[in-house]
Structure 1
Amino acid sequence: MSIVYSCRHCGQQIGKLDQKVVDTSILGFNQLSVKEKEEMIHYQDNGNILVKSICESCEESLGRYPEYHELDFFIQ
């Protein structure tokens, strides 16, 4: 099983954890609301967990252009 972190804006893979057993509370999943979990955490058929986050580049763009927060996707 892998936990794959990818940017929700550009799709770039941010990181990957390859573990047989993972305590999701260590990863902070228990800190998320139900809505946040639904938006961010996706369980794949192969057993992997895909976590939608934000990469440094997109975070920087959002800082420079705050109006991008209104958009679901700002990278075309």
Structure 2
Amino acid sequence: MAVNYECRHCHMPLGRFESGQVPEYRLGLQFLTPEERKRIMTYNSNGDVTVKVVCEYCGQTLESHPELALLSNPLQ
């Protein structure tokens, strides 16, 4: 199992941890509520997990133009 991090807006791959590289508790995913997990995590058929986060570029863009957050997929 691997944990992949991807930007929720531009879909840029941001990082990947193979199982065994980093203990799961160090990723902090256990602190997410069930609703947060459902919103930002997807489980792939091969056992990998994809965590949707916001990359630096999209974060800066949303900070400069907060009205973009009202769109369903603001930065595509």
Q: With structure 2 as the length reference, what TM-score do the two structures score?
A: 0.86
Report matched runs for 1:44-55 at 5 Å: 44-55=44-55
- Deviation at 1:20? 4.1
Pair 1:74-2:63 in alignment? no
Between structures 1 and 2, the one with greater helix share = 2
Structure 1 spans left out of the alignment, 5+ residues? none
Structure 2 spans left out of the alignment, 5+ residues? none
- Deviation at 1:33? 1.5
User: Any idea what the Cα deviations from partners look like across 1:38-76, whole Å, max 9, x if unmatched?
Assistant: 011111001111111111100010110011122231123
Report matched runs for 1:32-51 at 5 Å: 32-51=32-51
Q: CA RMSD in A?
A: 1.6
- Count of residues paired in the alignment: 76
Q: Structure 2: how far apart are the matches of 1:5 and 1:20?
A: 16
Of all paired residues, the percent bearing the same amino acid is 33
Pair 1:57-2:57 in alignment? yes
Pair 1:28-2:21 in alignment? no
- Counterpart code for 1:63: E
Runs of 4+ displaced beyond 6 Å: none
Bigger shift: residues 65-74 or 42-51: 65-74
Change (3 A) 1:21 1:15: closer
- Counterpart code for 2:4: V
